[in-house]
Amino acid sequence: MIVPMKKAHLVVLKEDQERLLQSLQKHSVLMLIKTGDNEDHQAIDGQVLNRIEKSIANLEKYREEKNNEIIVNYEEFIQEDPRRQKYLEETERINDTILRLQNNNQSIQEELDALAPWKGLDIKLSDLSSPRYAKLHIGFIEARKLSEVEKAIESQNGDMTVVGQKDYSLAILYAVYYQDDETLLNELKNLGFEEYQLPTVDAYAKDLIFEKETLLQNNKQEIERLEENLKELASNIEELLVLNDQLNSQLELVEAKVSNITTYATCYIEGWVRSDEVDQLNEAIKEATDVYDLAITDPSPEEIPPTVTKNNDFTASFEVITDMFSKPNPNEVDPNPIMSIWYWILFGIMMGDSGYGLLMMIASHLFIKYKKPKGGTLRIIKIFYYSGITTIIWGILFGSFFGYDPVNLIGRLFGKNNWGFALIAPMDDPLSMLILSLAIGVLHIISGLIMKAARNFVDKEYFAIFADQVSWILILAGICLFVLPPTKSIGMIMVIVGAVTVVLTAGRHKKNLFGKITGGILGLYDIANYMSDILSYSRILALALSTAVIGMVMNMLAGMVAGSVIGFILAAVIFVVGHVFNIAMGLLSAYVHDSRLQYVEFFGKFYDGGGYEFKPLSLKLKYIDEVKTSSLTQTN
């Protein structure tokens, strides 16, 4: 149900403003009507928050215990503990040091890669640039051209040695007299010789390599030591998590403060409060001050209050589907109680396999238990969990358990091939499945018309109920009864009564008689739209068939390769991978097409939407699961 909203008008002394806002945030009962901006504070706090987020991300790599619930007391949460700031700075210092060492190691490794081919060089690197009688060159040649290079060097009375290798190239050192240097160098370049330059240092290449390898190893050991320190810090990561949520909550207070109208002595606050939480609002105010004036009023006709719904856990889980379309308008009937049941039923039909439903429930339960999702993710996982129930039920009715009919399999053990429990087998009797799909579509659309009738009843538009909803319910229900021989006459009467009602009332909003007559006649053309909507439910048949066919194909493939030990192993792999793929695709398809039927065919009959979320001033909890006080608990 949609909870009615009230508008709160509150005046307090200016000196009590900050204490009042803290109490309102603590109790999370009032959504402030904001009139200000606070970009400067956001920029300052945003820099600190970015630092904290970065440190948290780095510490998460070393955190051993994850997904544990974090529960703190309110007094501990709001306390500004200087140790948290020191913890942040220490984490940043270590992370910066590790990053610097890693960058240094990358540079050292690049230098080692460059020196590696020259490890066998038996002269100091400084001697390469200052020989007395001959010119020395080092560089790379292709291994396949070694003989050509040797001949070229010998032809100029030079000498050459191979000192190493890099991929498919050879690292060589050659010496030649100065007068022959330019000629030989040009000839070698034509053969693909690439001259190379090494740093001019008074050391052998192998000694330089040893020195850099030692430095690299020392840096790695230092990184390991620092990572051990990070592991110790990660065991207390809650300090940073609390600090992050604390600063976000403080930022929320800063933004809330500029939403108020203040004079030299007083502060005026406006906001929305749930009608069932007015008493809690009074308690929150009294906790901060005894000097105040509070007026609670109904929203004015031109005001649109936020929307908040109050439903049981089952219905609340499906609210995410409605919210993705549009939040309910606070003046309309909450669609979630009815929509959730239809979504639940249709999802099960589209999946249609009891084995898949069982896996959906088990996997969803384990995911919720160990991953502890929050917000919209938790609600979607719960949708899969609840829909697992209807998937099991429809799977039994369709006689499908991982693509097999379990009753038929048992019958085969006793030589009975005709055993089976399926009331409707989508693959064997697609026509009956299509009829079922369309019949469900008619009921779904009629329920949408009933929801519109309920909205008109609340708005006291009683004639519209008879003219716009009852008339079409009679037509749709009458058509269904007309195709059944025992109820053919009853169905015809219902269709005629409904059609006459449409003709007489559809043009009632026109000003002249001609417009009323033509409007009434043209109103009957809406039957084409209704038929189009009903045909959309044939997608239920399509999805049920696709799930069944893919499951059957995977079972056939597994059966074809089974026989030997390796065959049974391969069959098991095909069975598991194939059905996991089928479940994944089935979940995606059912989620999308079920939502589409709700949005277009169901909501199109009555739902306006256009509401916005009720967001009271509250603690901004991203990492903390619960903040407890003596009287209440705020959860993430």
Residue 131, SS3 per DSSP:
coil
pLDDT of 106 reads: 95
pTM (2 d.p.): 0.80
d(CA 526, CA 517): 16
Above 70 in pLDDT, residue 320? yes
Task: Enter the tokens of residue 429.
Answer: 């009797």
pLDDT in tens, 274-317: 999 999 999 999 999 999 999 999 999 888 999 999 999 999 99
pLDDT of 522 reads: 78
d(CA 21, CA 12): 11
Beta strands in 486-587 (DSSP E): none
- Identify the residue whose tokens are 């109103």: 523
pLDDT in tens, 223-256: 999 999 999 998 888 889 999 999 999 888 888 8
pLDDT above 70 covers what percent of the chain?
Answer: 94
Task: Enter the tokens of residue 12.
Answer: 């307090």
| Cβ-contact 285, 9 below 8 angstroms | no
Average pLDDT of span 124-148: 86
**Contacts of range 368-377, beta carbons closer than 8 Å, 24 or more positions apart:** 370/67, 371/67, 372/67, 372/69, 372/625, 374/636, 376/320
| Cβ-contact 351, 545 below 8 angstroms | no
d(CA 360, CA 365): 8
> Which uninterrupted H or E stretch holds 281?
helix 278-288
| Cβ-contact 337, 311 below 8 angstroms | yes
Above 70 in pLDDT, residue 578? yes
| Cβ-contact 142, 111 below 8 angstroms | no
pLDDT of 38 reads: 44
| Cβ-contact 286, 33 below 8 angstroms | no
Mean pLDDT of the chain, nearest integer: 89
Helices (H) and strands (E) in the chain, counts: 22, 12
Q: What distance, in Å, lies between the first and last C-alpha atoms of the chain?
A: 23
> Which uninterrupted H or E stretch holds 176?
strand 169-177
Which CA distances in Å does 121 have to 118, 138, 168, 492? 5, 10, 19, 103
Residue 194, SS3 per DSSP:
strand
d(CA 241, CA 68): 13
d(CA 160, CA 141): 12
Confidence at 261, pLDDT banded by 50, 70, 90 = confident
| Cβ-contact 25, 248 below 8 angstroms | no
Above 70 in pLDDT, residue 418? no
Task: Enter the tokens of residue 584.
Answer: 């994944």
Residue 345, SS3 per DSSP:
helix
What's CA 77's distance to the chain center, in Å?
Answer: 28
Average pLDDT of span 90-111: 94
pLDDT of 311 reads: 94
**DSSP character for 68?**
-
- The runs of H, that is alpha helices, within 326-470 are 336-351, 354-371, 375-398, 406-413, 430-458, 462-464
Residue 298, SS3 per DSSP:
coil
pLDDT in tens, 173-225: 999 998 888 899 999 999 999 999 888 888 899 999 999 999 999 999 999 99
Burial class of residue 279 in the structure, from the number of CB atoms within 10 Å of its CB (0-12 exposed, 13-18 middle, 19+ buried): exposed
pLDDT in tens, 447-481: 999 999 999 998 889 998 998 899 999 999 999 99
pLDDT in tens, 342-363: 999 999 999 999 999 999 999 9
In order of their start, the domains of the chain are 122-203 (3.30.70.2750), 313-463+535-605 (no CATH)
pLDDT in tens, 19-69: 999 999 999 999 998 765 545 444 456 788 899 999 999 998 888 777 678
Above 70 in pLDDT, residue 408? no
| Cβ-contact 626, 634 below 8 angstroms | yes
d(CA 537, CA 600): 11
- Identify the residue whose tokens are 């200000």: 36
Which CA distances in Å does 244 have to 192, 215, 288, 351, 627? 60, 38, 25, 42, 14
Longest CA–CA span in the chain (Å) reads: 120
Angle of CA points 320, 326, 328, to nearest 5°: 90
Average pLDDT of span 384-394: 96
